[in-house]
Amino acid sequence: MNFSELVRIRQSVRSYQERPVEPEKLQAIVESVRLAPSASNAQPWTLIIIDEPLLKDKVASATFSSTISFNRFSLEAPVIAVLTVETPKVITQIAGWLKRREFSLIDLGIAAEHVCLQAADVGIGTCMLGWFDERAIKRLLNIPRSTRVGLLITLGYAVEGYPVRSKSRKDTDVMSRHNAYRR
C-alpha cells in the first residue's frame, strides 16, 4: 500500500483479538524503529517489546486503576511496546538547551509513529498510551531509575468489525496555514 493509504488506515485500536502477533511482524516493527530519524542521529530511545503474557498483563495493569480505567483495554492486547527516553548525544543536549527544545521527546514521537505505521502496514492495530504508573513499569522491566519511560504502545489484531475511525479530523483550512500564521 502507498503512504497515503497507510496514514488513512492507521488509527487507535482499543479492542483486540486473542491472537498472538507473529515474531516476524514484531521484528519488522523493531527494524522500523531502528531506522527512525533523530536529532544528530542520537536515537535516544530503547524499545522494549513485551509479549510474555504474565509480564504483559502486569505492565498493562500499570496503565489504569480503579479510578482511572480508560486504558483497561490494554489487558486485551497481546503485545505492549515500551519506549524509554535515553540521554542523547552531548551536541543534541546543548542544541536542545540553546533552542529550548526537547529533541529526545520529538525523536521519541517519531519512533513511536514508526511503530504504529509499520504495525498498520502488516495488519496490526496499535494505541499509544501516555497514562501509566511509570514507577511500576520501571520496576517490572528493570529500567534504571534515571531513565524515563516515554510512552507505551499496545499492539495486536483488532477485533473483527472494529469500527473505522469515527472521530472526524479537522479540515485542512482549520489545521493548516500557507506562508503565515493567520486565521
Answer yes or no: is 168 within a domain: no
Euclidean distance between CA atoms 123 and 119, whole angstroms: 6
**Helices assigned H by DSSP within 70-177:** 90-99, 103-121, 134-141, 172-175
pLDDT at position 167: 74
pLDDT of residue 146: 92
Contact between residue 77 and residue 159 where contact means Cβ atoms under 8 Å apart: no
Tens-binned pLDDT, residue by residue, of the chain (183 aa) = 899 999 999 999 999 999 999 999 999 999 999 999 998 898 999 999 999 999 999 999 999 998 999 999 999 999 999 999 998 778 877 877 888 888 889 999 999 999 999 999 999 999 999 999 999 999 999 999 999 999 999 999 999 999 887 778 889 988 999 999 976
Which CATH number fits the domain that encloses residue 110? Answer: 3.40.109.10
Provide the pLDDT for residue 91.
81
Task: Give the chain's domain count.
Answer: 1
Structural domain containing residue 31: 24-159
pTM score, whole prediction: 0.93
Whether 69 is covered by a domain: the verdict is yes
Q: Is residue 183 part of a domain?
A: no
For residue 53, being part of any structural domain is answered with yes
Which pLDDT belongs to residue 46? 97
Q: In this predicted structure, what is the pLDDT of residue 93?
A: 78
| Strand blocks (E) in the chain | 45-50, 79-85, 125-129, 148-156
Q: How far apart are CA 76 and CA 78, in angstroms?
A: 6
**Is residue 82 included in any domain, yes or no?**
yes
pLDDT of residue 183: 61
